[in-house]
Each structure stands twice: as C-alpha cells, then as structure tokens.
Chain A
Amino acid sequence: MSDLLPGGEPAAGPPAARRGVVHRFLRNPLAVTAAAVVTAVVLVAVFADVVAPGSPVVSRLDMVNAAPGGEYLLGGDGAGRDVLSRLVHAGRLTLLGAFLTVVVAMSIGVVTGLVAAYFAGWFDTVAGWAANLVIVLPGTIVLVSLFAVIGPNILVSMAVLGIMFSPNFFRLVRNQVIAVKNELYVDAARVSGLGDARIIARHILYVVRAPIIILSATIAAAAIVVQAGLEFIGLGDPATPTWGGMLQDAFANLYTGRHLFLPPGLAIGITVACFILLANGVRDALEGDESGARRRPPRARTAAPAVPDDRATEHVPDDALLTVSGLVVGYRTRSDEVTEVVHGVDLRVERGRIVGLVGESGSGKTQTALSVLGLLPEGGEIRSGHVALDGEDLARLSPRQMRNVLGRRIGYIPQEPMSNLDPSFRIGWQLVQPMRRARGLSDSAARAEAESLLRRVGITDPPRVMSSYPHQISGGMAQRVLIAGAISCNPALLIADEPTTALDVTVQAEILDLIRDLQRERGLGVLLVTHNFGVVADVCDRVAVMRSGRIVEERATRDIFADPHHPYTITLLGSTIEGAPLRAPLDEEVAP
C-alpha cells in the first residue's frame, strides 16, 4: 500500500458497478421469467379487445359447456360463452382491482408512516392506534358486510381492501424511517440547511423505496386472491367477466364442465406466483447492493492461492509458550478465489511476558490473534504454517480438542466488553458455568471462586455484580468481568484483542494496570493486540509491528521506541501526535 506517501490515503478500489441492481436482477432467471409473465398478463389485459378471439359476453346455446379444442379453444362456459375470450377480458378487472388496492394501501400507508416517523409526536401515537385497530379487523368479513351496503361493486371493495392493507405499509415505512432518520448523514443534511421536504425526498424515501416495491408486489398478489375469493362466493359484479366469477361458474357446472376450472385457476395461480417471485427477485437484487454498501473497503489484495509450505516447526526453546511460525491466513471469496490477509507471520510469546502486536486497521493483527484461537470468521482458514502452544500444533486439533484448549489453556479478552456478555443471563451464571464444566467445580465452589476473582479484578461488591445483568453494569465493569472470566480456568496464555479500545482513558489505565498485575502474579504469557503505541509503551515487554499481513519489526519495547529500525515503524511513531507543538492562544482582543 502506498499510504506512506504524505498527503494521501491508500488508493480506493476499482469503481463499483453503479448499475449493480439491474444487473443482478437480470442474472436471476426466475425473477426475469416472473417479470416477463407479469408484463405479458398486464399487456394481454390492456389489449384484451385485440387479443381476445371473440366477445366475452355473447352466449351461444350450442356451445354450453362445450369441450375445449373446438371453435372455442378453451371450450364454452355454462352460459355458452367463449372461455378464452372471457379469460382475457377478466384479467382487466382483476388487475385493475389489485392495482387499486395497492395504490390505496400505499398512499395511505406511506404518507402516514413517513409523517408519523419523521415528525413523531401526537400524530405518531394516533396513527399507531389507528393502524392497530385496522389490523385486528377481519378483512374478508368486513368486505362481505360491505356488500350488503353497496351491492356488487368490486372496485369499491378493492379500495376498501386497500385501506385494510394500509397498516402494512404504515408499519414498514415508519420503522424504516425511524431507523434512517437518526443516521448522521440526515443530521448533516439538516445542518446544511435543507428543508424537511428535501431531506425526506433525498435521503429518506430513497432508503424505503425498495421495501415499498417489494411489499407492493406481495400485496398485489394477496389482493388478486381476495378478489377471486369474493367473486367466487358470488359477491362480484355478474355483468363483468372476472377470474373469480369464472371459478364460480365452473363450480356451478361441476359435473358437466370440469374443464372450466383449469383456465381461471391457472391464471390466478400463475399471476400470484409471478408477483411473489418478482418481489423476491427485486429483494435479492437490492440486498446484494446493501451488503456491499456498508462494508468497509477490504484493505488486503487478492492473491493466488498460496502453495501450502510445510516449513518445519523451529526448535522450540523451553520458555516459549506460544510459537506461531509461517502463518498464512486466507479468506475464500464467493468466486472461490482466496484473499490472503496474513502472509507468513512468525511470533513468539514466552511465559511471563506481554507481547504487543501493533498495527493499523487492515494490517492483519486481529486475524493473527483469531487464528491462534481457532476462531476465524466464516470463510477464513489457516492456509499454512503452525500455531503451537507448548509445542502442540493447535491448527491440527479437531474442533472438540480445540474446545478443551480454549478457556483452559488460552484465555481471551475481547474488544467490545458489552457484546461479549450474553444480555439474557446474570453475570454470576456466565462466570460460574465455564468453571463448573472446565474445572469440574461444584456450584458453591465455583461461586466462591467467581467472587474471589471479581474481587481480584477490582470489583468491590461481587455478590451484587454477580446477580446483575450485563446492561446493569458499566463498560469498564464488564471488561473486568470478562477478564475475570478469561483467567477463571487458569490459562497459561491470555489473548487480548484491543482490550481497552472501547473504554475511557481513565478506565483504560486501570484495566492495563490489572492486566500487568495478573500477568506478574500468575506468570501468564499475554498476546496484546492494539493500535495504540501508548498502550504498548505502558504494558508490553516486546512488540511486533505488523503491516499488510507481515511483521516488519519485532523487538523489545524500550529498544523499538528508542531506536526504531524499519521505515514503517518510524512513520508510525512519527505520526503520534503526543509531542506535536502546542498552538499558542490567539491574542486577547482589546476590550471595547
């Protein structure tokens, strides 16, 4: 990477495909087929007069329940009308009804959802109540009773159905908007002097548009089914052909014209299925986009799959607790290439030593630590090299054997204390359980041990903390609890991944004191991953500087600070701003 050049950060990756969504959609055959079918159905309905072979309403007595294949391609119905012509014309009202439902549901739901979420206050409360009320109404029963009032008017029924469906849009839009409106870029737009209408149009509607499209397709499908059902039970307009009405006619001629079921049944089934498949296709296409949008750009370059080199484990001196040699870590990408993030790292941690692994983001320091723990995320693997604990190669252990190593021989202190405690269990339980399992202690012995450990890590009232849930304690306390947990099964090696990065400096100082004391007391070997040279200077005996997946320099802490050798180390140490010149205060203004 060229980030040593002054004034510029590492070059950005290749420009991402802007037309990604359309491209991804077109590569999904199911979605394309569904889109084609929906388009065809709509076109046929619109141009029914041209497409249909005959009139949908002319009755011929000689064609009553006529079998398919004759003059009427799909046969004649119970009144001697052409089934094919009726099918084509019926699409009109069916699709129009579905369209009406979607438009009504969307206009009501989207507008109220936007207003409720963006401006909150009393409107949000009232709209929420109204939405809940509409949702609990049984839709079909409302429509049936409506028939008693307005008679057979399917379009009015479908508009009412739209009102019944509107809470779906309301809830979707409201939740999405609440999630977006607190994004920093919306705050920034507000500070930039943009009006509410502009913020909604530019920043908020854009985010909710995809889910709205998806929900619309689903609701259109549901509307077609409800409409067909209404007409089937005879609540439709008998004068206009509809798919549901044709089903009703088929049912009336159950014994004489069985062929009548198939055409409307298939038309409904295929159209509904295609709407749903279309929605799924759109969602998949958009989701592919989302996942890329928020991720940080990968820093490591793609490399050809490494040839596994079987470097023999070097002679292990007696005091070496952890020996990493020739470690190569790679991630398998979707196209089955391997992206290497660690390229041959050698590292040693001795008993009673704290070794710092320091580097910037993307340098591979965390990946190195995670491979020692055997906890690389999905897709990551040790491509070659050895990770030896007391001379035993951890990379060759089975997952079951590795479980016996973790906790018992290697303790782990994570970066985010809060997300590493399970919020649904009391802290006491989370500390006691591993000790009972790993050390075979009884419940009361494990509790007593947990209390003394908590006292050791500086918690003044262990019983109270043990009966608390994680959200009831502070971040510093949570990190103390995790440290107590990490040492509870007497490991020989402690791996700490940025253990103080999420903490305030005053708390950080206390936690570093604690790690140093514990290491002395118990003769632990500690591998401390950090980006902070202050932390290194405070606790580490030796430090390895990592950059782009390689260790560029590894020496005793005092030596490296006094006389760094590698240019990258010099750059890093030169970038620390602790010694930067102070700015003098501006001259006091002359009193007016």
Chain B
Amino acid sequence: MTGRILEVDDLVVEYPGRGFRARPFRALHDVSLHIRPGETLGLVGESGSGKTTLGRAVLGLAPVTAGSIRLDGREIGTLSRRDRRRLSQDLQVVFQDPYTSLNPVMSVGDILAEPLRAQGMSRAEAGERIRGLLDQVNLPADAGNRLPREFSGGQRQRVAIARALAIDPRLIVCDEPVSALDLTTQARVLTLFREIQERTGVAYLFISHDLAVVRAISHRVAVMHRGRLVEQGPAAVVTENPSDPYTQRLLLSAPVPDPVEQERRREERHRLARARPESELAS
C-alpha cells in the first residue's frame, strides 16, 4: 500500500501535427502529481494550459507519449482498450457540460443502468442500486423514468455524478463539473461533491479554470500553465500565498465579490504588472 490512489510521473502527451511530417504538438511537459485516497486535488489553469488533457490522459482518452500513470500502483497509461475497460470499477468521470454528457434519447434510469449492466449486474439489482444513487444525489425517485431534457442544468449534473458513483469508483476525474451552472446551483453541487467524498472516501481530480471553485473543494491545489505544473501544494498556500508569479497573477485577476477588497486587489495587480511587464498582452 503506497497510500496513493493516483500517481502521475513525468507525463508527456503529444498530439500528432497536421500534415506530412509535421512536428507533434506537446500538450503536457513532464507533469508529475499524486492523489491520496479520499483527497481532492484541484487542478487549475486557463484555457489551453493542458489541464483537461491531463484529465483525459488519466481516463485513457488522450495518448500517453512518455512517463507513467499509476492507479493503485498499477501502470494504466499504456493499457489496451480491453484491459482499460476493467479499470472503470476504480476510475470514473464527470464532464463539464451536463447538456452533452448525457445521451439525450436515453432515460435517466438507462443512463445510470449502463455502467452497472456493463459490470454484469442483473436488471433487478441495477434497479435497486439506481434508486439508492438517485437518493444519494438528492434527485426524486421517479427521475429514472424521465429524459435528461426534462431536467435543469444542476439536476443533469446530479445525474452525471450519480452515473460516476454507480460502481463505487475510488477516483473520479471531474472536468469543470460546475462551470456551466448558475451560482446558487454551483454552491449546492460543490456541497454534494464534498458530502459524497466524506461519506464514501472517493478521491477527486478536480479540474477547473475557476480558482474560487478549486479553493472551495480541494485539499491540495496544482496550477498549470502552458502544459507545465507551475505550483503545487496545500490549498491554503497556493490560493493565498502563492510563490509562483503566474499563480500570483491568476489569483489577483479573479475578481472577488467585494468592491473594497476588489479595488485593493486591482491596485495590487497593477503594481505587479508594472513591476514585471508581461509580454502576453502583445501575443
């Protein structure tokens, strides 16, 4: 027992370039991180930083060029499609967009039954489990007979969470799971994530562009910038006293809902920008 559910070491992901003999595009440069059982690692970064690619690599949906990904000490970066399938017991996903991550023509019950039946559960057992799952994510018991389009965004995201929980995974990759939701809904879904974690001991790799969201859910936070991890550490340190200049800029850029505090932060950001002019403006 290493006490680590996920270990990623020097991970490199490259996508083939377009055209004949084109140079491949390197989306991740030597990324290393780990997650312990029951822990949330928040992965924050801006668009194109590689945070989603990292999540997809762990899920086996992005090509691993070099480095290793180990789940419970077992190498999973280079598994065949067939071996990969057995992993689903330990590893699940909640995607960003609750409008496209649920098949619009399948009832919620069928959506939840799918992973259960794929694990060889009988129809009756699956039905029993689904009732429990719907209850766990605070959806009414009759939700199973309805289509995804009959639900609001927050409710759909609850369905997606229920699907991820269906077979008691040990790690869930959450790719921007609350970004498409309204503020009040966002807070409730985050609370649900925390409750489930406290109850089941599942670990999260929680990916978001929103530092506030990551801060609220994570034990530890990792910051990505241009395919590299620039800072990693306890949430309190990374989101309050970051040492990396990019993290500092990211932190000060996010506006806070307090006019007085926001004005202070704005001036602080301007002062930082004057002290260290960034060339990114021009690119």
Contact = CB atoms under 8 A, between A and B. Distances in A.
Nearest to B61: A187
Contacts of A510: 281
A504 B93 contact: no
Interface residues of A, number: 76
B219 A360 contact: no
B253 A506 contact: yes
Contact of B212 (A6, A361, A557, A577): A577
B93 to A, nearest CB: 5
Contact of A191 (B92, B152, B215, B283): B92
Nearest to B142: A15
B56 to A, nearest CB: 8
A360 to B, nearest CB: 4
A496 interface: no
B36 A504 contact: no
B141 interface: no
Contacts of A18: 147
B95 A192 contact: no
Contacts of A138: none
Contact of B184 (A3, A183, A585, A586): A3
A259 to B, nearest CB: 52
Interface stretch (B7-15, B23-31, B68-76, B99-107): B99-107
A582 interface: yes
Interface stretch (A276-284, A288-296, A365-373): A288-296
A297 B114 contact: no
A10 B152 contact: yes
Contacts of B280: 506
A509 B47 contact: no
A492 to B, nearest CB: 25
A33 to B, nearest CB: 28
A18 B104 CA distance: 12
Contacts of A538: 255, 259, 262, 266
Contacts of A585: 219-220, 234-235
A295 B100 CA distance: 11
A149 interface: no
Nearest to A540: B259
Given A12-B150, A12-B152, A583-B218, A360 B87 contact: no
Contacts of A10: 152
Interface in A1-18: 3, 6-10, 12-13, 15-16, 18
A535 B254 CA distance: 9
A504 B257 contact: no
A270 to B, nearest CB: 34
Interface string A172-186: 000000000001110
Contact of B146 (A12, A207, A577, A586): A12
Interface in A574-592: 575-578, 580, 582-586, 589, 592
A532 B255 contact: yes
A297 B151 contact: yes
B147 A16 contact: yes
Interface in B84-140: 85-89, 91-93, 95-97, 99-106, 114-115, 118-119, 138
B46 A506 contact: yes
A196 B81 contact: yes
Contacts of A185: 100-103
Contacts of A512: 255
Interface residues of B, number: 92
A13 B148 CA distance: 11
Contact of A360 (B100, B119, B184): B184
B244 interface: no
A578 B256 contact: yes
B115 A193 contact: yes
A189 interface: yes
A292 B182 CA distance: 22
Nearest to B59: A191
Identify which of B3, B103, B115, B254 gathers the most chain A CB atoms within 10 Å of its CB: B103
A576 B257 contact: yes
Contacts of A536: 257
Interface in B248-262: 249-250, 252-262
A188 to B, nearest CB: 6
A531 interface: yes
A461 B47 CA distance: 24
A360 B88 contact: no
B63 interface: no
B185 interface: yes
Nearest to A18: B147
A494 B256 CA distance: 24
A561 B253 contact: no
Interface in A185-209: 185, 187-196, 198, 202-203, 206-207
B149 A188 contact: no
A575 B187 contact: yes
A582 B236 contact: yes
Contact of A193 (B1, B85, B210, B239): B85
Interface of A: 3, 6-10, 12-13, 15-16, 18, 183-185, 187-196, 198, 202-203, 206-207, 292-297, 360-361, 458, 460-461, 474-475, 504-506, 508-510, 512-513, 531-538, 557-558, 561, 571-573, 575-578, 580, 582-586, 589, 592
Given A533-B257, A561-B259, A577-B212, 20 more contacts: A185-B100, A192-B167, A206-B103, A294-B149, A296-B153, A460-B281, A505-B253, A509-B253, A532-B255, A534-B254, A534-B257, A537-B255, A538-B255, A571-B184, A575-B183, A577-B213, A577-B216, A584-B234, A585-B219, A586-B38
